[in-house]
Structure 1
């Protein structure tokens, strides 16, 4: 070190200190199949159907549902239910295993979520025989015409 220029003699201890600090992070776990898959945080619930239904507009295809009924599960845990001819509803939703839960008119609702392909959603509500079915909405989407009250179209 005596033959090195003065600037390098001052830099070497600094570089060694910096190297030592970066090495203090501890050993990193090996990357394996079990650690390479992103895992949810401890306070983040696992979403059913891999969460593919979240953040999309779904149009009801369930026979007997109000015309133009839609449902949206937002990532911030707000659910929007609406139809073209009825008032909309905002509720909080959450997940539990393969099911989701929300409140409708002070009644807790629990439903098993199934994705049938990328663009089909099925909600089997606990206690109901018939499932609610939905298809992904195309953009743009316009509400269907309101049925005539006099029966003439």
Structure 2
């Protein structure tokens, strides 16, 4: 619970809580990182993206900040901060636990982000939607 409270405090400091009730959650405008000002980068950075199909473990989110920081969190796991970068016109990468992760940006709009994430020799498609404010983690299913 402490991790979730810390993330929400960070998001509030970044200005996420100041967005209108039904608008996508956007981080406060920040200058784009040097060499990182392509229209594609601007179209998906500084937004809170929530995984569209959370399955049994809901609330997975990614926030690609324009300063090169990637915030990853979920309703059931501790948040992570890591560096991200554009590696081509349509490919982004970041590092998780010493492993470089590459993802092709399949499509992006103001409401949806689709990534094809390379996991070893296979690619997994991940669909995200722009979070709306307010947003709260759903209740976690209890195990019997």
Give TM-score, length-normalised by structure 2.
0.67
Highest CA radius of gyration, 1 or 2? Answer: 1
Matched, 1:125 2:117: yes
Higher RCO structure (Cα 8 Å, ≥6 apart)? 2
CA gap 1:107/1:65 in 2 versus in 1, 3 angstroms: farther
SS at match of 1:87: coil
Worse overlay, 68-77 or 46-55: 46-55
Matched, 1:136 2:127: no
- 1:105 paired residue number: 97
Give TM-score, length-normalised by structure 1.
0.63
SS at match of 1:52: helix
Report the aligned-residue RMSD. 2.2
C-alpha displacement of 1:69: 0.7
Matched residue count:
109
CA gap 1:65/1:81 in 2 versus in 1, 3 angstroms: farther
- 1:76 paired residue number: 67
- Native 8 Å contact 1:49 1:113 kept in 2: no
- 1:56 paired residue number: 47
